[in-house]
Structures are given as structure tokens and as C-alpha cells.
Structure 1
Amino acid sequence: MSKILPLIVLTHILWGIQPQIKGFVRNGNTPLPNAIIVHQPTGAWTVTDEYGYFSSIGSVGDSITIFHYGYKQYQAEIPFESPIIVQLDLNPLEMKTIHVIGKNNKMQVSHFQVKSGRNLSTTLGSIPSIMLRTYGGSGGLSTVSIDGGLSSHTKIVWNGIDLTSPQNGLTDLSQIPNFFINQISMGSTSALSYGSGSIDGSLEIQSSKSPQIDFSTGSFGTQSLAVRTNFANKKGSVSLGIGQYKSVGDFAYSNNGSSGRRRNNQFDQSFYSFESSHTINEQWFVLLQSLGTNQNRGIPGLVFSPSPKAHRQDDLRLTQIKSLWQIPNHLFSFSVTTRKSDEHYINPQYAVDSNHGLSTNQLELGWITEPLESIEIEQKITIKKESISSTNTDTISRIIQTYSHSIRWDLTRNLSNESGLRFDKEKSNFSVWTWQSGFEYLMKNSSISVTGGYGFRYPTFNDLYWNPGGKSTLLPEKTNWARVHWNTQLKDHQLSVRLGSKYSTDLIQWVPGENYWQPQNIAKTRRNSITLTFGGRLVKIINFTTHFTYNDSKNINVNKPMRYAPKYTGSLNLETEFQYINGWVHGQYMGERITMYSWPMDVRMNPYIVFSGGINYTITPKVTFLLSINNFLNKNYMTVNGYPEPGRSFSLSFQYKPKNRKKKS
């Protein structure tokens, strides 16, 4: 790695750079997903997400062309460096379609830009209803849940690639470097888009395409270096990222009156990314992308039962080839995606030496059409093969076939409906129907939506085939849910209120048997939640965003709150910008949680408030220094029982970004 990085930096300088543009494509106030934005000087292209958002290489003065089935082709120059809004009309009269959002853009409640200098905990803590669970330190596993649910009920996707491990149904976010996380969106049709494991929703991660050099150093022996560059010509663009992260990780802790030092917490990570996008012609677009990460980490174990010599090495490799073909009123898509991972875990203390190799290969065909101006129909056919080869299971594969059909239509100018069905079938174990339907009504400065649906999670390889204990006759977990969401604009502020209700049955729970633990479809839960999000300008140079969630959960089997489901959570973010200095403070509150049902008293974790903050100083338009302090009150807390989190830590970063070129004359 140390020999490769200087070469990447030198190549970056010699071959030139392509800055980045960001924006939204809309029709009035309605976002337009699946719009294709082509950067004309290079032929590089990207597609808007379900919120109409896009990011692409490009500079002020460059020409971009926007294609969208059902709309006329648009071409215009990029007028500003700020995020842009591209307004598409069915019958455009002029080409003046690009407008500037400016710095006072509306608070986003489903779409979040990742800010420089902030770690994953701070970033996810700013998203309403999100809980991050880590096992103490940078090397611990990191999983995410929504509304106090199971982590296996939240789908996480990176650049359209599903990160879920078919072995345990989880996504370990520690395998995705922060360098490759630029934006996070909460999916609105997760049950239809992703099926199994999206009961509570989805987090859709997008990486940046802009060239950048990052170097950071900090507490606990942490150092990282990462570079991203791109090369472009008139036929397309190629982007390459590479980097390394290292942390000694050991830290002092205090827990229940005892103190000590967490050891064997080291974490070494190397990673790369590759993306190549090409515009063949005005109808045909091709993309190839890949991500690879390698992790070597110590496993410190529970604080009351440490594992001083446990170690794990794991690799993650993602690849996708995607092609779009567009003709008037139709968009066809084809993609082939692979996810491969390997894990080797050694713990000599308990004579454990295990290997787990997994692969997921998926073929997807899609078709979107607009038979009428007010109706859009989307259909997808997917074939997915999941395989495992493990020391704890046999070598096993399964093939899952999926068909989904959704329709969105504008009933009136302000009222729209989106409904859909999805059918998943695995030959020998299950077949499941999924549905979702919702209405949205737009008003002058507000909107309200009512949505309901049915979601599921099919059993994992561990549930079905773990030796000993796996049970091959398990049923899929099932959840019925409903949600009401209201957004309103109040001058310089925005308020969001979301009400949700979920009832889950056939949840898989491992219980003791005669000789070993075994999974059963026995658990039932219900959750009712309300989330308030409020943000805007506090004073002239200070903006704020805050959210609060009340979650009333119950494990119906034991008539108690669900484990790891706090009744109250919230956060407060303050941010200021004055000339060349940007400052921020983030506070996160987590309520009391039951971690284990017991008698006469349940085992609980105490509530906590953690504050972090930082200052970014822009020396030149290209160079920024960032200082951040995490947990600056040195709070003792845990997100998973038995795994203390680090105390106060510091990080100093250097960031180089090229400045956009001036507008062409």
C-alpha cells in the first residue's frame, strides 16, 4: 500500500482532475428518480435516486444533458458551484432549467449529506430513528437498526449493491471505509425494492466521485491515508480510490465501578474502489463499479471475559455491471452484481479456528414505462444465488427468484398514489408475497403521506444449517406496518412528524434445547413510535437540526419492552460558518435499554448523552484542516452490553480537493 499510494498521487497530478457537481432533478416539487445525467465533455453518466438526487463529475461551464423517459431531452451549462436544481417539464418552452438551491436549502428528513471530519457514529446519530451498535472501538462490528428493531431488519445498500451477509442477515459497516460514504438516504419503498431484511426500512449509501486526498491522525494510534482520482475523455470516465486505515485501538475504560484497559483492539484496513461509466450513445449507458476491503482486527471480547489473543481477518468484495437503455416513455435496465466475503476467526483461548466463505450472485432485469403522463409502471425480475462454505455448516447454495410490480399515478395535481406487489420464491423453503401502498398529498408549504405494507425476512444460513442447532424448516419472519408522515415549512424552519406502527410475528429466536440451542419461530413484537424533526436557522450564523423519537415497544412473549429498544432517543446538531471556518457540535441521547430478561430484575444499560464537535479551517479553496473531538465530556457508555466505548478522542485531518474550474466563456 505504501508503494502504491505515491504513484496514485503522482498520477492524479499529472493526468489532471475532474471536480464534482451535485443537485436534484424535479418536475415542479416532485422529485424525478431514474433521470440520466450525462457530463458531455467526458461521457460520464449517473442516475438520480428516488429523491431526484445526483452527483457527478463536472465543473462550472461544463455542458450536461438530462434524459428522462416521458420528458424531452434537456441540455444546459452548469452555472454555479452550489447544488443545482434541474426542472424538467413535459412541454418545455425555454432551456433555462437550472436553478440554484443556495446555502439555505431545506432540512432533509430522508436524505443526508455526510460532513467532513465526522465519524460514523456522529453521522448516523444525526439521522432520525437510527441506532448504531458497536462492540467498542474502531475494530468492533458496527450494525444499524431503525425504530429499536433488529439490525437484520434494516437493509443497507452501497451504490445500489446489497451489503447483507446471507450467513447472519447483518451488515457490518466497519467493512465500509468512511472515505466511501458521501451521502445516506432512507428508502421510501424498501419492502418492494429489496424484499427480505427490509422490514424496518433501508439505508442507501452513495460514494463521492470527486477527486480528493485525505490524511488523518488521532488518538489510540489512529492513522489513515486515502486518495481518489479520475481520468476522463469524451467516451467516458474512470475513477479510482485507494487507501489504508490503522488503529492500535486500546483504551482505558470504567464500567460499574471497575476500571481497566481494553486490549487486543487493533484494526488494520486496506481498501480500493473502481468505477467506469460510459455513454455509448443517447440511448445506451454502461457502468462498471467495484469495491474491495480487507480487515485484520483483534477481538477483545466482553469486558468481564476478555479474549486477549482472539483475531479475525475478513475480506469484502463487491462488483456490479449495469446497463441502461432508454427510448421515449421506456427505460430498460440490466445488471449483474456479486458480493463475496471471507472470514477467518481464531481464538486459542477456546480452541476456535473457523472459516466462513460466502458469495451472492444476482441478475436483475428492469423495465419502467409511462403509458400516460400521470402513470408510471415499474417491473423487475431478479434471480439471486447465495452460497456458503463454512466450518460450521455444509457447503450450501440456494436460488431465490423475485418478481416485483409497482405503479405510481397522479390522481390529481396534488394527490398521488404508489402501490406495488413483490413475490419471492426459494425452491425448497419459502415463497412470500410482499405489498406496499401509500398516498401523498402536496400542499403549499407542506406535504402529508400515509403508507402501509407487509415485509419479511427469510431465515439465514446460520438459522437453517448451523451445526449444531440449525433448523431447515423455519418460516420467514413477517411484519405488518403503517406510517403517517407530515412535513411543513415554517419560514426559515422545517418541521417533520412521523408516526409508525409495526406488528411482527414468527420472529426467529434461539432457545435452549436438550443438548444445544436451536432457532424457533416463536417471538412476537409490536412497536409504536413518533419521531419529531425540527431544523433551521437559530441565529444569523448558526443553523440547527434536532430530532426526538418516542418508541413504545413490547415483546409480546414476555410482556416487556424489546431488548435494546430504548423508549427515548434524540440528537441536537449545531453548525456555524464564518468566513473560512466551519464549526459544529453534535449531541446524542440514548435512553435506558433492557439487554437481557432476567429474574427478579432485568439486566439494563444506563441512558447516556455523548457530545462531539469540531472545527474545519479552509486555508485555500483546495486545502482544509479539520480538528474533531469525539465524546469530549469523556462519558463512559456502551451501545452493546459488555463492550465499553472509547472515551475522549482527538482527530486531526488534512484534506485536499481541487477547485472547480471557472465558467467557460
Structure 2
Amino acid sequence: MQSVHFFLACAALFFAASAHGQDTKRQLALDSVQHVREVVVVSKNTFREVIPSQKLDGAVLERLNAHSVADALRYFSGLQIKDYGGVGGLKTVNIRSMGTNHLGIFYDGIELGNAQNGQIDLGQLSLDNVEEITLYNGQKSAIFQPASDFGNAGSVYIRTRTPRFDINKPFNLRFKAGRASSDTYRLSGLWENRLSQAVNASLSMGYLTSSGKYRFRYLRHNQDRSVAYDTTAIRQNGDIWALRAEANVHGVIDHGMWNWKAYTYNSQRGIPGAIVNNVWRRGERQSDHNHFSQLRFQKSFSDAFSTQWLAKYAYYHTHYVNNDPTQLPVNNTYKQQEIYLSTANVLELMPNWSVSLSYDFKWNKLDSDTRLFVFPHRFSNFISLATAIDYRRLKLQASVLGTFVKDHTRTMVDEPSHSVFSPALFVNLYPFTSKAFSFRAFAKKSFRMPTFNELYYTEIGNALLKPETAVQYNVGAVWEKTYRASLIRGFRLQVDGYFNSMSDKIVAYPKGQQFRWTMLNLGKVHIKGIDLQAETTMQPSPELSFTGRLQYTYQQARDVTNPSDSYYKHQIPYIPWHSGSAIVGANYKQWQLNYSFIYAGKRYNQQENIVYNYMPAWYTSDLSLVYAFNWQGLRCKLTAEVNNLFAQDYDVILNYPMPKRNYAISIDITL
């Protein structure tokens, strides 16, 4: 395995050095006669994406009654959010029924990792400093990216705010304060400063506190549909306090840029746990101390060659306590470390033909004080080779990713290393002269290793779990049109049909406790689906405008492992056949009215699709009113929100009731 590490690293470095050597003389000659007045950040190769993405940015994000990244992701087609309720409840995301671990979450270009359980709690990621969220199915279809980016079945890219300054103002200050139901208080601040013409810095901080108490209804039926329990109560032990801080230094150089980021998140929260047999008080507590620092460097040495280098160190500390008198006491600490290094290089062979070679190295380690813990650590190597062609009306991208993984433990015999190659092909075609209409398609194979939790946790892990494989096929079309002088200023219609085949699919179920899971290989799952998205903008007058965004998803995700199983060809747990969302906004002068709607159809909470496991459809409506004004040189914005407008009682996850109608107000001041 050591030789594999060395070979992969040398291959990537040789590619970068050879491409650089070809262009060095020409670049020196150009530099001797040219004086660069502007900074060109990266070459045009960076922007050659084959397949369009789903995106929420700017004004659209502001229209949502959303405070975390998880809240915003509910409005993407093809995604299902697992929400355990309340302000501090665990929130993860599932893409096209393939599971959380097939979706990569990237924060300013570098993936957020969690080898411990693969669950990125998106509720911890605040929207206060987020400028754009983008979803890619398959993968980000640009070849200038880290090698591991080619390995995900889907990717979410979160881009934080980049400082912008007025000519005579070298700094920005922003403060936001909010009050909401459940005794919830939010405070955040942003400071940005221009240190020089080429360097600026920013500091973003946020504080959250909440009692987590909210009223809910617990209604359960017996198998004969008679009422077993019908109780209205207040959710307990859902309190949270959290402190987040993020520092950035941005720099630009000739034909390049660099960025350094340091991030910390600290929280303490209660875990209400599942409500079983009308019992809802639990004694579980959890504290998280998550920190990471990352560095990104990107430079174009010529019009033909660009390189990118990434580095990251992350440390996650979790302390879990269970003092519930009805259960065995638990007091455990988990410490996770990650080191990540990456180089990506792209070379333009011809004006319409580029190739890239990328290499990533990742080291993960998990320590714990639990009984019989095996102290695993993992070495992962990724190397990718990709090519892209952009010729007239045709865009094409092909890639292959090699994944090499080796686990070591302190007390167990090491399993053999895993070596897997994952190919992908993306095509986009404009059939007409106008680029308003396009067809796209992709086919991809992806692979993921079981997490440390799934493999090694005492009484939870299953060392016999097999790695999970996904094969995706997707065809779709986009129709987009803009108008300058008409009532309808623009519209966009996007439709995709897809088929996914999962082998040895791993499913995690809550084991009565939010932090603990029971692991199971389902075997084979076939997933068929349709994603539909429509957007439009109307402007009846210069002072009045309307925007609308609609998305719908149909999914059939069937277990096809064994015809003799009672659940053969049944829908897998927690996947609704029908789901969708809508966002409508109206702007008039300084006022803004926003309405958002989310719907999830019927589904089942266990493998067998029987009446006892049935979960009804749910929907929720949110409404907000915004007033923006200037006061003594300050830009101010007042927001009032009503969430779950019609006070519907529903569970996203069985026995984890969601809040009824709740309210929030906030003020945002920019200096």
C-alpha cells in the first residue's frame, strides 16, 4: 500500500511539472513585455461545466424561511431531508434514494468529511454567511476539480460570502439578531476588511440558544386502525446552545488566487429521542466541538494550464451521555481527525479539448473510550483522469476515478485493501442554433466504503458489511428563455428521468437514540425517478415584481434483493413516491412577501409496506414579510416569519414529531 501512495503522488506531480515546463519559456517571454493591470483568477477551463445544476443564491435564499443549510436544501428536487425535529435536531440529506453517504457536501471547495458515521449534520451550518448553494447530480461536471469529487453520486457546493467593497469604504460590518418560538435567540455578526488591493479578510460569528420546547401531538393507531395513543404534549430535552466562528483571508495573485479558512463550531444540546409507547422524556445529552482549517491555492500558468492545491486538517470531538433511568448509563467520548491533501491540474490540448489529472490523499482516525473499541484509522487515495470536449453544439466529459482504501485497527486483523475504478460519461447537446433548449445525459458508477460506525462500533457496527455500489443513468432537458421588455422576464423548465441501481445498499435506522444506529445491507435496490423544476420571473411595473419556483419529484425505490422476502419490490423506508416544493415571492418598493410550501407523500418506515408501517403525507407552509429601509446611513431589514402556517402535525422520521405553528422576527443591520 505504501508503494501505491508513492506512485499516485508521483504521477500527479509529474503531470503538473511536465505541463508547467512546456509553458514556462513562453510565459516568461510574455511577462517581460506585458504589465498585468487586472488579476485573472483562473483559466477558462474552470468554467466548462457540461450539465446545468440546481442553484439557490442571493435573493432566492433570502426568500426562504431558512436559517441553516438543511432548511434550504429542502427546496431542491431529488433530495430528501431527514429531520429529527426542533432547532437542534439532527438534519441529514439523502439524494435520489441512494443515501446520505453518496452525497458530498463541499464548503468553499473542500469536502466536509465524517468517517465516523458519514452523517454531515447540516443543521450546524448557518446560512448567515452563505452566498450560494448548488446541487449537482452525478458530479460537478467540470474536470478541474479534486479527484475525490469524481466519486460522489451527487454533490452540494456551499459557497460563503466573498468580500466586496465600495471604492472609498475599506470595510463592511453586518449585525443580525432574531427571536423565535421555543425561546430561540439568534445573534450573528460579519466583519470584512480590505487589507490591501490584493488581500482582504473576514470574520463571521453566530450564536444560537433555544429551550427546544414546542407543542406536538402524538397520535398512533393499532393494527386494526383503532386509536392506541392520542396525546398533546410539549417536547422536552431539546435545548441547545451553539457558537460558530469562521475566519477567512482571501488573496489574489497574477492569474490566480488563494484562500485560508479557519472554522469552529461548539455546541451542547439535549437529544429528545424517539417517542415510543407515549414516553417522551429522555436523559440524553451531546456536546460537539468541531474545528477545521483549510487552504486553497489556484493559479493559471498560461491560457492552457491551470493547477489547484488544497490542504485541510479537521478535528471533531463528540461527548455523548445518556442518564435515562430506564436504560443503561452511557458516557462516551469520540475524537475524529482528518488530514486531506489534493492537487488538480488541467491542460488544454486544443481550444475545445482539455484533460485533467487529479490526486487526493485522505487520512482518517477515530478514538473513543467505549468498551472494546478497535481504534480504526483509514488511508484513502484517489486519482482521477478526465477529459472534456466543447465542440459547437456538443459538450462531452468522460472521467475515471481510482479509489484505493486501506483500514487498520488496533485489535482486529486488517482486512484487505479495496481498489475500485469508477467511470463516468456526461453529454450535453444543443439541437438548435439557439442555446435556449438542450438535452443532457450521463452514466456513472460510484462506490463508497462503510463508515467506522457501520463497521466497528461495539454492539452497533457490522464487520460483515459490504461496500456499497451505485450505478446511475440520467436523461434530461432544459428550456430557458429571457425577455427584456415583457410581463414575463424569464422562465426556465428542467426535467430529468433517471434509473439508479444500488448493490449492497447500507441503511441506518435510529435505535431509539438519535446518536446510535442499527446497520443493515439491503442488498439490491432499483430506483426510478423523475425530477421536474420550473422557475419564472414577472415584472408588471418597475416597482413590482413576482418570482416563482416549483419542483416536483417522483421516486420508486424498490428492494429487489430476494424474491422470497416478504418485502420484495417494496418501497424502501422513508422514500415517498411523490414530493415537491414551491417558492413564491413578491417585491414592491421596500416590501417583500415570501411564501414557501413543502410536500412529502405517503411512505413507510420499515422494509415491509404494510398498514402498521404506513406514514401519511405531510406538508408545511411558511410565510415571511420583509421591510428594508435606510436609517442614519445604515441599511436595515426587518423580517417577520410564520412557519408551519397551518399547524400541521407530522413526523419526518417516525416518533420524532415536528413543531407546530411557530414564529420568528429578526433585524439585519449593515454598516
Query: Which among 565, 579, 583 is matched to residue 569 of structure 1?
Result: 579
C-alpha contact (below 8 Å) 1:310/1:348 kept by paired residues: yes
Query: Which among 281, 295, 299 is matched to residue 321 of structure 1?
Result: 295
Query: Which among 551, 556, 580 is matched to residue 552 of structure 1?
Result: 556
Distance 1:377 1:196 in 2: 16
- Is 1:286 aligned to residue 284 of structure 2? no
- State the 1:87 CA deviation: 11
The residue that corresponds to 2:531 in the other structure is 531
The residue that corresponds to 1:270 in the other structure is 243
Count of equivalent residues: 558
Change (3 A) 1:276 1:87: closer
- State the 1:110 CA deviation: 4.0
Secondary structure, counterpart of 2:605 in structure 1: strand
Distance 1:510 1:617 in 2: 44
Q: Where in structure 2 are there 5+ consecutive unaligned residues?
A: 1-36, 164-171, 220-229, 407-415, 483-489, 510-516, 562-566
C-alpha contact (below 8 Å) 1:122/1:586 kept by paired residues: no
One-letter code aligned to 1:525: V
- Is 1:421 aligned to residue 400 of structure 2? yes
C-alpha contact (below 8 Å) 2:595/2:622 kept by paired residues: yes
Distance 1:359 1:122 in 2: 28
Distance 1:616 1:65 in 2: 38
Distance 1:186 1:178 in 2: 16
- State the 1:125 CA deviation: 2.5
Change (3 A) 1:368 1:111: farther
Q: Where in structure 1 are there 5+ consecutive unaligned residues?
A: 1-62, 72-85, 89-106, 512-516, 659-665
CA offsets per residue over residues 246-287 of structure 1, 9 Å max, x none? 1111011112132111111111010100111223x4145332
Distance 1:225 1:505 in 2: 45
C-alpha contact (below 8 Å) 1:152/1:197 kept by paired residues: no
C-alpha contact (below 8 Å) 1:69/1:369 kept by paired residues: no
For residues 202-217 of structure 1, the aligned pairs below 5 Å read 202-210=155-163, 211=172, 212-217=174-179
The residue that corresponds to 1:348 in the other structure is 323
Runs of 4+ with >6 A deviation: none
TM-score w.r.t. the length of structure 1 is 0.79
The residue that corresponds to 1:609 in the other structure is 619
The residue that corresponds to 2:180 in the other structure is 218
Distance 1:346 1:246 in 2: 20
TM-score w.r.t. the length of structure 2 is 0.78
- State the 1:474 CA deviation: 3.8
CA offsets per residue over residues 5-35 of structure 1, 9 Å max, x none? xxxxxxxxxxxxxxxxxxxxxxxxxxxxxxx
The residue that corresponds to 1:118 in the other structure is 65
- State the 1:325 CA deviation: 2.9
Which sits farther off after the overlay, 114-123 or 330-339?
114-123
Determine what percentage of the aligned residue pairs are the same residue. 18
For residues 25-424 of structure 1, the aligned pairs below 5 Å read 65-69=39-43, 109-113=54-58, 114-115=61-62, 118-119=65-66, 120=68, 122-187=71-136, 190=139, 195=148, 199-210=152-163, 211=172, 212-232=174-194, 233-256=196-219, 257-279=230-252, 281-283=253-255, 285-304=257-276, 305-328=279-302, 329-349=304-324, 350=327, 351-392=329-370, 393-410=373-390, 412-424=391-403
Change (3 A) 1:184 1:70: closer
- State the 1:520 CA deviation: 5.9
- State the 1:64 CA deviation: 6.0
Distance 1:607 1:135 in 2: 17
- State the 1:339 CA deviation: 2.1
Distance 1:482 1:597 in 2: 25
Change (3 A) 1:644 1:603: same
C-alpha contact (below 8 Å) 2:148/2:360 kept by paired residues: no
One-letter code aligned to 1:417: L
Distance 2:137 2:91 in 1: 23
Secondary structure, counterpart of 2:454 in structure 1: helix
- Is 1:481 aligned to residue 472 of structure 2? yes
Which sits farther off after the overlay, 465-474 or 523-532?
465-474
- State the 1:622 CA deviation: 1.1
Secondary structure, counterpart of 1:462 in structure 2: helix
- State the 1:134 CA deviation: 1.2
Secondary structure, counterpart of 1:182 in structure 2: strand
- State the 1:630 CA deviation: 0.8
The residue that corresponds to 1:632 in the other structure is 645
Change (3 A) 1:341 1:87: closer
What is the Cα-based RMSD across aligned positions, in Å? 2.7
